[in-house]
Every structure is written in structure tokens, then in C-alpha cells.
Structure 1
Amino acid sequence: MSPSFRRGLRLGLPFAAVALVLALSFGVLAVQAGFTPVQAVLMSVLVFGGSAQFTALTIVGAGGGIGAAVGAATLMHSRFLAMGIALAPSLSGGPLRRAAEGQAVVDSSWALASRGDGTFDRGLLFGTTLPQYIGWAVGTVLGAYGGALVGDPERLGLDALFPTFFIGILVAELRRPRARVAALLGAGIALALVPVAPAGVPVLAASAAALIGLGRVEPAPGAEASG
């Protein structure tokens, strides 16, 4: 076990706690929407994508078809295309191995593994994702099979966890001026499109703000001193 993987495990624990609570909410709501507990758990184990799963659940719960649910969930997670392109050179092996390793990408792990110079710490990425995956799966099991004990998740204020979670990731990325500009631009694009665009499209369009980083890759904090 590499030092970066062990460090990733430690960094991933707080996010795993959040994932567990969010997944508990998903498990409860999925069963209320008509999923069996087994179906809810399998969805979390195979998809492992909070925003996509909640999006699909909302559409199915409102009477929409599976095609519409899958389409909306795919759009919601289309941001991982840009994240995967940035990460790919830091992964090992050929295309198939890199594609398999890329399945470990979640928002927090991607942000934490970034070295700030366009490269990523592969071991830290895997280490940070592992506890989050376990937390997501365990939380879904608890919610799907013990939903009667939880009741209405909104009563507990769990709906505030998602925005709080992403704000926490964003704050960690705002150390560099270029990142702040990209964040503000992306937020503006998303807010402008939310009232008029289908679910997932605002997120996809907002990712275009990352193109501002093509002009010049900034050195990681402290790189000048070390060089």
C-alpha cells in the first residue's frame, strides 16, 4: 500500500461520512418511489453516482420512463468526460486499463488528487474514492432496509448536504486566481441555464468554463520555491 494511497484513505473518510448519509437518504427515497431494496442497493453499487441517481429517481418517481431517467442521469454526470480527459495522462497502462481506473473518479477524489500543475496523484485518487464507495453502498443498504426508522429524509435536513458537499470541494479549489475565475464563470453559466435547460445541461455547459485553463497551466503552490 503506497503512502499516497494511505493518505487518500485518511482524506476520504470525511467525504465517506457524507456519502453514507446521502446514500441513506437515497435508499429511503428509492424504496418509497417503488424500487425494491435489492434494486436500490444494486443501483448504488453499479452506478455510484449521487447526483445521477437522485436525478433518475426523481424522474421515475414522477412517472417518467426509464429512458428519460437514464438520459437525464447521463447528462448530470457528463462533467466526468472533461474530468476524465484531464486525468487520463496520469493513469497507467493502455486505454482499457485507464478506462477501468477512471471509474474511481468522483468529484472530491478528483479535486484532492490534483497536484495543481495538470497532473494527478493516482494512488491518492484511488485511496480517497475507496471509503466513499463503501460509505455509499453501506448507506444505501441502511436506507433501503431500514427506511421505516428514518422516515422522511427532508425532515432531517439531508437535502442541504449535496450543495454543502460541493461548496466544500469548490472552496478547496479556489487557492489559485485562475480557478476562482473559472468557478465564477461556471456558476454564472449554470445559474443562467437552470430555469430554461433540462436537468444536467447547466452542469455540462458550465464545465466549458474550465477551458480558461488552456491558456496557461499554473504551477502548484510552492513549486517556485522547490525549483
Structure 2
Amino acid sequence: MSSSPRPFFSLAGLRHGARAALPAFPGFVMFAAAFGTAAAQKGLSLAEAMGLSAFVYAGASQMVGLEIWQQVWTHTTILTIMTVTAVVNSRMILLGATLQPWLRHEPLARSALNLFLITEAGWLIGTRYHNEGGRDVGVLLGTGLVLWLVWQIATIVGFFAGALVPEPKRFGLDFVMPIFFSVMLVPLWKGPRTALPWLVAGFVSFVVHALVPGYGFIIAGALAGVIAGMLIE
């Protein structure tokens, strides 16, 4: 009985992952620059903005965090921003779970770094590579490292130069990331049956967002998609 090759790590894979990340640059640059601009307008220092980009490293959570950001912090506001960040980032639990077969033989430190650097864009690139038969974990890490670096640089650019575009929505820049994700999903298309969980997740997210305030629609959509996939299988 044949089995799929065991995952491995190489510097060649690291370089391949860095090159594979290039199509994601426009979306990352626009999103991070928009965050840098919003952070400056909110009154954050460059160090505070960079701290969020370096350690939180999640565009949606960073934007939501800015909405809650206070000049004077209380225990309540700290708990609120922690909870909201956890809710918005909970989708990463599912992304990480799908990578378990790929990372289970990796050293703990490298797996932790890979999971810290994972984003939707990096996950899509890595998943596409894996579905095509690739098993070099260096590809995933290379993609993650390069995208993280681009995010930091674009945050700085947005912080200082973003005032030139005070309202990104007027130029449609807020659509860059959704368009990128939509394009990256195309190679994952395997027919209407396997795409049904995507539709279920999107529909449930939309309904919950319309009916329930807050960010619970992210969890609801993700869980609905997982359940739909399990039922189909």
C-alpha cells in the first residue's frame, strides 16, 4: 500500500515559500498600511502600533482593538479587548487543526513559530501547495516569515504616510484582501459538493452578523462550516 511522503523541512522550501507569498503582498500592504494610518489617527505611538502588528499580528483583531482602545485603561477595558481579540482570532484554531498532519513530526519550537505566523493568506498558500503533493514544511514557514515582515514594514509606512489616504474605502482599498482570498480559493475548488461547507459558513456568518451584535458571527460561521463538512463526509 502506497502512502504519502512524510513531511520534511529544507532551506529550499523556505525560499520557495518566500516566493509563493509574493501574490499576497498587495493585500497585506494595503491592510497593514490602513491599520498604521488608523493607529496614528487614534493617537497610538509608533511603538504601540508596531507592538500590535508584531505580537498580535492579525489584521481583523488589530482593527477591532483600535475601536476599543482607550487612553486610560481599566480592568474592564483590558478584559474586553482580550475577549474580543480571542473571539476574532478563534478562527485560527480551525486553521491550526488542519495543519496538524503536516506539523506533527516537526520540532516543537518550529511548530510554534509556524502556528504563530499563520494567517489566512499563508494558510491558503500552504494548503494549495500541500494539496498538490508538496510536503516541505519550509514552504509554510517561508511564507509566514515573509508575510510577517511585509506586515511590519507596511505598518510603518501606513503610520507615517497613510494620512495621504485618510479614507481608504473611498478608493476601494478595503476590498483588496477579500478579493485576494477569493482568488486564492479558486485552486481549492473541487466541485459543488466540497464547496457546500463554504456556502454554509458564509450564510450562517451573514445571518448571525445581521441578528447578533459583536463578533460571534466569526465563530458561528466557522463551526457551521465544520459541521456541514462533517455531515457531507
TM-score by length of 2: 0.80
> Greater CA deviation, 208-217 or 10-19?
208-217
Structure 2 unaligned segments of length 5 or more: list them. Answer: 1-9
* Alpha-carbon offset, residue 70 of structure 1: 2.7
* Alpha-carbon offset, residue 136 of structure 1: 0.7
* Alpha-carbon offset, residue 174 of structure 1: 2.3
After TM superposition, list the pairs within 5 Å mapping 1:20-39 onto structure 2: 20-39=29-48
User: Aligned partners of 2:191, 2:15: CA distance in 1, in Å?
Assistant: 27
User: Aligned partners of 2:100, 2:143: CA distance in 1, in Å?
Assistant: 17
| Letter of the structure 2 residue corresponding to residue 185 of structure 1 | V
Residue matched to 1:87: 99
Residue matched to 1:57: 66
Relative distance call for 1:110 and 1:118 in structure 2 (3 A) is: farther
User: Aligned partners of 2:202, 2:13: CA distance in 1, in Å?
Assistant: 32
Relative distance call for 1:175 and 1:121 in structure 2 (3 A) is: farther
After TM superposition, list the pairs within 5 Å mapping 1:68-217 onto structure 2: 68-91=80-103, 92-93=105-106, 97-114=110-127, 115-116=130-131, 121-208=136-223, 209-214=225-230
User: Aligned partners of 2:62, 2:69: CA distance in 1, in Å?
Assistant: 11
* Alpha-carbon offset, residue 44 of structure 1: 0.3
SS of the residue aligned with 2:69? Answer: helix
Deviations 1:66-121 (A, max 9, x none): 43233222211101111112212311445565333311211122122223399965
Number of residues of Structure 1 aligned to a counterpart in Structure 2: 216
User: Aligned partners of 2:57, 2:77: CA distance in 1, in Å?
Assistant: 21
Structure 1 unaligned segments of length 5 or more: list them. Answer: 218-227
Deviations 1:30-72 (A, max 9, x none): 11112112211111011111111111112337x9934323322
Relative distance call for 1:163 and 1:216 in structure 2 (3 A) is: closer
Residue matched to 2:56: 47
Matched-pair contact (CA < 8 Å) for 2:114–2:144: no
Matched-pair contact (CA < 8 Å) for 1:52–1:77: yes
Residue matched to 1:6: 15
Q: Does 1:67 align with 2:79?
A: yes
> Greater CA deviation, 91-100 or 74-83?
91-100
User: Aligned partners of 2:47, 2:84: CA distance in 1, in Å?
Assistant: 23
Percent of aligned pairs sharing the same letter: 27
Query: RMSD value over aligned CA atoms?
Result: 2.8
| Letter of the structure 1 residue corresponding to residue 218 of structure 2 | V
